[in-house]
Each structure stands twice: as C-alpha cells, then as structure tokens.
Amino acid sequence: MAAERQPKTVLCLGNPGSEYAMTRHNVAWWLADRLAERYDLGRFRQRGLGGVARGSIERVDSQVVKPLTYMNRSGRLLEGLDEVTGFDMNRDLLVVVDDVALEPGRSRFRPGGSAGGHNGLKSIQAVLGTTEYPRLRIGVGSVPPGHEQVDWVLSTPSREDRGLILERIDVLVECVGVWVVEGIEAAMNRCNN
C-alpha cells in the first residue's frame, strides 16, 4: 500500500507581532499573504506553533505556514516531521526566508545549502539535522557599513526597496506554483533572477 501523500508545505519564516510586520525579516510573510490571497486559501488559522492557510495551489493539496515562534525558534514547528508518514522534505517542504546577500528585487530557489548566518535557517537545520531541504531566498539588501545585521533586518525597507521586493513577490507567487507542481529544479530554472 502506497504511503499517503502529504500536502506541499510552504514555510514562510518571520516574527509574530505587528511591530515586525513591515520589516525586512518578514518579507516571507508578505509572500505568504499573497499566496493565500492568490490561491484563495482563506485565513491563517492557528495550528500548534503556526498560522496555517490550507487549500489548493495549482490543484495540489498545499498549506502555507507562518511560524508563530520568533525567527530563531522557527525549527520547533518542524519537530516530529520525520515521523509523518509519506512526508518527503525534499519534495514536500519549501522554506522561504529573507536574505541580506541578495539585493531587493532578487530571489533564489535552492535545493539546500548553509544557513548563511540566518537564525531561522539555523533553527530549522538543527531540528531537521540537515542542510539539504528546498528553500526560497528573497533579497532585502546588504547591511550598510556601520549597521548591525540584526538592526538592519528588523528595520523597514525604504519605499524604493519595498517596491522592488513587492514586485518580485508578485512573480514569486507564480514561481511557488511552479515548485508545487514541478519541484525545486524547475523553480530554479524558470524563476531564479
């Protein structure tokens, strides 16, 4: 008997609370909201340690998740994932994060890799025990000289940077659909810029 297929999970890292809503560190949540709107997934409802919107993305059972833990504890949401029958993290999980190594308006799908100093990814990798899981990195711009990274990612982007990020998020909504249907390689080939 074949294992039951689990829904595609798009895990969008960010910090809970209105004070963080418009910060660089929460651009993945901006994408989560656009995905829920575009694919008519409904409201995010609290389930355990996350807000979850479920439904169909490109006719595939899917869920978009916003962890309700702070960024550096994002991995807690994935505890026990290895015990879920039919779940394949290389096929069924996409982690979405902000990235200071990419300029606003840029993004990268990757099949795996290091945390690159990102505390949310460090937390996930500690729980999963691997660096090999699909991710989507959304550029928020490099830290200016004289600034601390934590202060930079917890600040609001300029109007120009916000516009570039939102334009890219509009494209990424469709790119997540590519990932859901065709996988990480197709998303990389068609959507990395």
pLDDT average, residue stretch 90-94: 94
Single-letter residue type at 88: D
pLDDT the model gives residue 1: 42
Q: Active site residue: 10, 13, 23, 25, which one?
A: 25
Sheet holding 135-139, edge to edge: 45-47, 50-57, 60-67, 8-12, 93-99, 135-139, 107-110
pLDDT the model gives residue 24: 98
3-state secondary structure of 83: helix
What does the radius of gyration of the chain's CA atoms come to, in whole angstroms? 16
Give residue for tokens 């830290």.
Answer: 143
25 is catalytic: yes
pLDDT the model gives residue 4: 59
So what CATH class is 8-191? alpha beta
Rounded-to-integer distance, Cα 78 and Cα 93, Å: 10
pLDDT average, residue stretch 149-173: 97
pLDDT the model gives residue 67: 94
Average pLDDT in the chain: 93
Angle at alpha carbon of residue 1, lines to 182 and 130, rounded to 5°: 50
**Which residues partner with 62 through β-bridges?**
8, 55
More confident residue, 77 or 166: 166
User: Over the stretch 20-59, which tens digit does the pLDDT of each residue have?
Assistant: 999 999 999 999 999 999 999 999 999 988 999 999 999 9
pLDDT the model gives residue 86: 76
Quick one: what percent of the chain has pLDDT higher than 70?
95
Q: What is the pTM of this model?
A: 0.94
Those residues whose C-beta lies under 8 Å from the C-beta of residue 16, and which sit 6 or more positions away, are 66, 67, 68, 69, 70
Q: What is the residue extent of each domain of the chain?
A: 8-191
Quick one: what percent of the chain has pLDDT higher than 90?
83
